[in-house]
Amino acid sequence: MKAYRIIAAAAFGAAVMSCASTSGEPALTKSGIDPVAFQSVQGDKQTDLYVLTNDNGMEVCVTNVGARIVSIMAADKDGGFRDIVLGFDNVNDYLTVDSNFGATIGRYGNRIANGSFTLDGNTYSLPKNNNGHCLHGGPNGWHTVIFKVDEADASHIKLSYVSDDMEAGFPGTVNYAVTYTLSADNKLAIKYEAQTDAPTVINPTNHSYFNLDGDPANSVCETYTLMIDADTFTPTDDTLIPTGELASVENTPMDFRQPKLISEGINDPEYTPIIYGRGYDHNWVLNAGGDLTKLAACVSSDASGIVLSVYTDQPGIQVYCGNFLDGTVSGKKGVVYPHRSAICLETQHYPDSPNHPDFPSTVLRPGEKFESTTIYAFSVK
């Protein structure tokens, strides 16, 4: 196990956990990150890096900036460990570079058409940041805020945020929390909780970009084998807003009910949903029906042998293959992230649900509590 030192943050009457050697010298994380590069003061809030470990040698680093996963060190088929998520190795990049790497997304993950929805007869206008729509809560969504750290030890961290009434146009003051827990059997559980004082909509998710090869300098997504337990998906228009239809995956590039290479369908030149998404960037309707014990999706890399299995109680999963990565962003260790260098597996409700009464509801009302769990389980072929 790593040696930890609790550093009192006297100015804020709190404590933050930071990695340090027993000699007091700064220690790099297993993924090679210097925790000092994450320590800063932003207004009256302190940023830091938090490290989760287990006895198998797995490590997950989290920052309270956007409640983001910064790195995941997972075991490969050769007995080594690889950092399998994209991100940055300093807090300044997370604060200044527009990205969703590893972020907690809210108040509403995915798109809301025309930045507008009606709830209980009231129409709400949201910021438009993607083809005239609101994406991931807008440009100042929860991925940009500094979360409060409520609990932190070597196996879990709980972070919270109070989203004010009408923040980014969303009604109701929402008390939100996300907890990351790393288990002894190499599972990373993400638990979301929220309560509101007025009717609102909520659809949190995590936006980690997984590069299971641990080789983010290369476009590897197409080489992965993917399985999604879904008979239908939600087709969209050319701006990626659902049409309202639940379309069958049968005999289409969207059929991943049996594991297959992503490359088999991602570049289909004639299939309209692939053309609109520039590849895979779609929501699948999961067959699990909210059963957290049923496998929802699985992706694996032959190069590393690493297998990522996804379990969730959410009704959908947005699979995004990094189609809009374009080699303009430099991440950890100065590596430039090229086109399709990672895959995202965002468990959530369907896009634009507030404007589709037939979709599962994302409405949260006073007196109710939103609770949801997603598990990312890591293993080796």
* Residues 258-309: tens digit of each pLDDT: 999 999 999 999 999 999 999 999 999 999 999 999 999 999 999 999 999 9
Q: What gap in Å lies between CA 143 and CA 63, rounded to an integer?
A: 11
Question: How confident is residue 20, by pLDDT bands cut at 50, 70 and 90?
Answer: very low
Average pLDDT over residues 121-136: 98
Two structure tokens written together for 307: 């297998």
Residue whose entry in the numeric block shows the structure tokens 């936006």: 207
Give, in order, the Cα–Cα distances in Å from 301 to each of 12, 77, 210, 221, 228. Answer: 44, 10, 11, 9, 15
Catalogue the active-site residues.
207, 346
User: How would you class 255 by CB atoms within 10 Å of its CB: exposed for 0-12, middle for 13-18, buried for 19 or more?
Assistant: middle
Query: Looking at the predicted structure, is the pLDDT value of residue 368 above 70?
Result: yes
CA-nearest of 72, 106, 75, 96 to 188 is 72
* Residues 141-181: tens digit of each pLDDT: 999 999 999 999 999 999 999 999 999 999 999 999 999 99
* 3-state secondary structure at position 125: strand
The set of long-range contacts for 111-115, using a CB threshold of 8 Å and a minimum separation of 24, is 111/135, 111/240, 111/241, 111/351, 111/352, 112/351, 112/352, 112/354, 112/355, 113/241, 113/352, 113/355, 115/169
Name, in order, each residue with C-beta under 8 angstroms of 33's C-beta and a sequence gap of 6 or more: 49, 61, 70, 71, 89, 332
Q: Which residues pair with 41 in a beta bridge?
A: 46
Average pLDDT over residues 109-122: 98
CA-nearest of 174, 205, 181 to 192 is 205
Question: How confident is residue 342, by pLDDT bands cut at 50, 70 and 90?
Answer: very high
Q: What gap in Å lies between CA 195 and CA 197, rounded to an integer?
A: 7
| Element (DSSP H or E) covering residue 111 | strand 111-112
* 3-state secondary structure at position 88: coil
Q: What gap in Å lies between CA 71 and CA 325, rounded to an integer?
A: 19
Whether residue 329 contacts residue 316, with contact meaning beta carbons closer than 8 Å, is answered with no
DSSP state of 267: T
CA-nearest of 317, 74, 288 to 187 is 74
Question: How confident is residue 70, by pLDDT bands cut at 50, 70 and 90?
Answer: very high
Two structure tokens written together for 138: 């807008």
Alpha helices in the chain (DSSP H): 91-96, 272-277
